[in-house]
Amino acid sequence: MTQPNAPEDATDAARTRVVGTTYAFLAYLLWGFLPLYFLLLKPTGAWEVVAWRILLSLVFCAFLIAVTRSWPRFRAIIAQKRLLMWTAVAGALIYVNWQVFLLATLTGHVIETSLGYFINPIVTVLLGVLVLRERLRATQWVAISLAAVAVIVIMVGYGTFPWIALLLAFSFGFYSLVKKRIGPAVDAVSGLTLESFWLAPIAIVQLIVVGATTGITLASAGLGHGILLALAGVATAVPLLLFASGARRVTLTTLGIMQFIAPILQFMIGAWLLGEPMPLERWIGFGIVWVALIVLTIDSVRAARRGRRVVSDVTELT
């Protein structure tokens, strides 16, 4: 028997999906354009940018906690040693990701950063096998094998080991794994606040070293540059918060498909706007990766449909 409020529930669910999809799309869109933002920060180097990114993210997140009066929830998190330990691990992983990404972006390797985020979904599946002991379907094994072939093609044909791409893929893959282990116990703002807090001493040391060598640029490269650099915390936190808000409202399949937005934009920026080299070997390697991602996406969509069909059948039986 149909409940009187069923149409309203369906409307609310549809509205939630639309809102969630919008949040996730905006997050990936902002991540895709981040290389351009960081390139605008020249002459500031990667070490100084990451340091300000950490410290200003901490300030911005603390401000958000104060405005939303979320201190009780934050105190409840820091009272649990296990959660604190995992936020420290997450902080270390995201630090590696940020530092490698900035060094690559500011030294003309934006295309390789895009390769890292193209490979990331496949690395996530691989980590599920190695760490969580998950069982893979045949098509997922095909995707992983194709990704491995792509890395070998790029390494042999292009003559260099794609360490930037692999470091980005694995650091963010392990970071996502830690966030999954923490689960809903740590909200997005509190998590980023604690991660930034653990990294603050490293950021301070980096600023001291930069100040003693090349010099701090925050107040020495003009007012416009100083404002852009001061917004590094906002540029870091906003996409993460949008992503967290979207992830709560849409399916993993939707997120899995949308996560290709950022590396596609990064690839276009590197290849077309910045004119980074794309020899035949790179095109072949990227092509193999894209085939692997198509296989993985089709498999995810089919698995999601089968899951919904099973749930529907069970509902009808009950």
Q: How confident is the model at residue 10 (pLDDT cuts 50, 70, 90)?
A: low
In a domain, 2, yes or no: no
Q: What percent of the chain has pLDDT over 70?
A: 89
Helices (H), the chain: 6-39, 46-67, 71-78, 81-105, 110-130, 138-158, 163-182, 188-212, 223-230, 232-247, 252-258, 261-268, 280-317
Q: How far is CA 240 from CA 71, 92, 119, 189, 191, in A?
A: 20, 17, 20, 9, 10
User: What are the pLDDT digits (tens) for 92-103?
Assistant: 999 999 999 999
In a domain, 5, yes or no: no
In a domain, 11, yes or no: no
Judged against a pLDDT cut of 60, whether residue 315 lies above it is answered with: no
User: What are the pLDDT digits (tens) for 63-75?
Assistant: 999 998 989 999 9
Inter-helix orientation angle 223-230/232-247, to 10°: 30
Q: What is the pTM of this model?
A: 0.83
Higher pLDDT, 31 or 141: 31
Q: What is the rounded (10 degree) CA torsion for 221, 60, 178, 150?
A: -40
In a domain, 16, yes or no: no
Classified as helix, coil or strand, 27 is helix
In a domain, 6, yes or no: no
Q: What is the pLDDT of residue 121?
A: 80
In a domain, 8, yes or no: no
Which domain range does residue 72 map to? 24-317
Judged against a pLDDT cut of 80, whether residue 295 lies above it is answered with: yes
- The amino acid at residue 5 is N
For the chain, what is the domain count? 1
In a domain, 64, yes or no: yes
CA 39, 43, 44, 46 dihedral sign is positive
Classified as helix, coil or strand, 106 is coil
User: What are the pLDDT digits (tens) for 148-161?
Assistant: 888 788 777 767 78
